[in-house]
Amino acid sequence: MTFLPYAVSAWLFLVGLFGVVRSRNLIHLVVCLSVVQASTYVLLLAVGYRHGGAAPIFADVPLGSRTVDPVVATLTLTDVVVEATVVALLLALAVQAHKRFGTLDPDQLGAMRG
């Protein structure tokens, strides 16, 4: 259990990249990229976890009790927003690719050779 979350994160990273490399559809490629994103969320949150720690929200948790790390929560929040916006842009590009080239296959777009 001690390193399982980290292993999961590494697995997600690699499997997402595998999907990107093998992809035959731009939408599928973008979703695979979001799988790779997910690995960063898992890693950040796993790094900051503390056994028996409560959420760092002192609305009803008494002050001074053991909490998980609040900084990684902020980092993950920022990360989620940032990556979601990149996905939005990539999807817009995919829509345009479909309009211009009539296909969503990344291997068929090629005008950029050499």
Partner 1 sequence: MAIAPLTVAVPLLAAGALTAVAPWVNRPIAEVVALGAALAATALSIALLVQAGDGLDIYWFGGWTPRHGIALGVSFAVDSFGAGLAALVAALMVAALIVMWRYRDTDAPHFQVLMLVFLSGMLGFCLSGDLFDMFVFFELMSVAAFALAGFKVEEEAVEGSLNFAVTNTIGSFLILTGIALVYGRTGALNLAQVGGALVGGPSDGLVVVAFALLACGFLVKAAVVPFHFWLADAYAVAPTPVCLLFAGAMSELGVYAVGRLWFDAFAPALGSHADALRAVLIVAGSLTAVVGAVMCFAQDHVKRLLAFATIAYVGLFLIGLGLLTPVGLAGAAIYIVSDGLGKAGLFASVGIVQHRLRHVSEARLRGLGRDLPFTGLLFLAGALSFASLPPFGTFLGKSLIEDGLSSAGYEWVVPILVLTSVLTSAAVLRVAAGAFLGWGTAVPRRVSALDESGSEEDAPRGRTPPSMYLPALAMILGALAVGTIPGIAESVQGAAARFADGHGYAAAVLNGTTPARPGTLPYSTAGHAYAYAAVTGLGAVAMAALALFGNRGRGSAGARLADLGERALAPLRAVHSGRVGDYVAWLVSGVAALGGALALALHPI
Partner 2 sequence: MTRRGRMVLFGFGAVGLAALMAWGLAGLPSFGDFDGAYGTLLSKIAVPERQASSVVAAVTFDYRGLDTLGEEFILFAAAVGVLVLLRIQRGEEDIPAEPQHSRLPTGRSLTLRSVATALVGPVVLLGLYIVSHGHLTPGGGFQGGLVLAAGLLLAYLSGAHLRLGRARPVSAMELSEAAGAAGFALIGLGGLVFAGVFLENFLPTGTFRSLISGGTIPLANVAVGAEVMGATLLILAELLDQHLLTHGRHRR
Contact residues for partner 1, defined by CB under 8 A: 13, 17, 20-23, 26, 29, 33, 36-37, 39-40, 43-44, 47-48, 71-72, 75, 78-79, 82-83, 85-86, 89-90, 93-94, 96-97, 100-101, 106-107, 109-114
97 sits near partner 2 (criterion: CB under 8 A) = no
Q: How far is CA 65 from the centre of its chain?
A: 31
3-class secondary structure, 109: coil
- Closer to partner 1 by CB, 62 or 76: give it: 76
By CB atoms closer than 10 A (0-12, 13-18, 19+), residue 8 is middle
In degrees, rounded to 5, the angle at the alpha carbon of residue 106 between the alpha carbons of residues 100 and 112 is: 75
- Closer to partner 1 by CB, 20 or 61: give it: 20
3-class secondary structure, 36: helix
Which of these, 22, 20, 25, 21, lies nearest to 98 by C-alpha position? 25
Q: Which residues contact partner 2 (rule: CB under 8 A)?
A: 1-7, 9-10, 13-14, 17-18, 21-22, 46-51, 55-59, 63-64, 67, 69-74, 77-78, 81-82, 85-86, 88-89, 91-93, 95-96, 99, 107
